């Protein structure tokens, strides 16, 4: 407990979005960053967003379009604020809930293959998450 409250790493809305988008994930479109770290047991870290990494700029664009359609089908508004080849950042809202979601191109080289997760599709392997975090890569 910190400051008298229990740490809740992902908000219920972030967890719901992760589950909604899980069906659109693959080995070349996977959850990474802080949200993927939060899938590890005993984490106390909070995440301000959901980061999805992709193996090419083209894959970023196609994943964004598929995710945008899925989110719209579930009543979410998707408001992009940065759109460029290989990187899209949007605020995803429904009612009072909102979170930032990022779709980004990343290296195709990893130490370990991405994992399969029933809840979140494909998250980055914990070894690669730790390596990225230690190397100072943004999470």
Task: Give the rounded percent of residues in the chain with a pLDDT score beyond 70.
Answer: 83
What pLDDT, on the 0 to 100 scale, is given for residue 64? 98
Cβ proximity of 80 and 90 under 8 Å: yes
Mean pLDDT of the chain: 86
Look at residue 129 and tell me whether its pLDDT is greater than 80: yes
Residues 6+ apart with CB under 8 A from 33: 47, 49, 50, 51, 53, 102, 138, 139
Q: Domains, the chain, ranges and CATH? A: 12-134 (3.10.450.620)
Look at residue 1 and tell me whether its pLDDT is greater than 50: no
Cβ proximity of 101 and 50 under 8 Å: yes
Alpha-carbon gap, residue 119 to 106, rounded angstroms: 22
The reported pTM is 0.80
For residue range 26-67, list pLDDT tens digits in order: 999 999 988 887 766 566 666 789 999 999 999 999 999 999
Alpha-carbon gap, residue 96 to 84, rounded angstroms: 28
For residue range 82-117, list pLDDT tens digits in order: 999 999 999 999 999 999 999 999 988 888 999 998
């Amino acid at each position: 407990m910190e400051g008298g409250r229990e740490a809740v790493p992902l908000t219920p809305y972030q967890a719901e979005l992760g589950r909604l988008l899980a069906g659109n994930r693959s080995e070349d479109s996977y959850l990474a960053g802080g949200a993927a770290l939060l899938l590890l047991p005993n984490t106390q870290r909070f995440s301000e967003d959901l980061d999805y990494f992709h193996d090419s700029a083209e894959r970023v664009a196609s994943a964004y379009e598929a995710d945008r359609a899925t989110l719209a089908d579930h009543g979410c508004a998707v408001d992009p604020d940065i759109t460029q080849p290989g990187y899209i950042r949007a605020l995803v809202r429904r009612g009072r809930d909102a979170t930032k979601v990022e779709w980004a191109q990343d290296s195709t080289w990893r130490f370990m293959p991405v994992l399969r997760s029933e809840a979140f599709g494909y998250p980055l392997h914990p070894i690669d998450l730790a390596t990225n975090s230690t190397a100072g890569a943004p999470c």
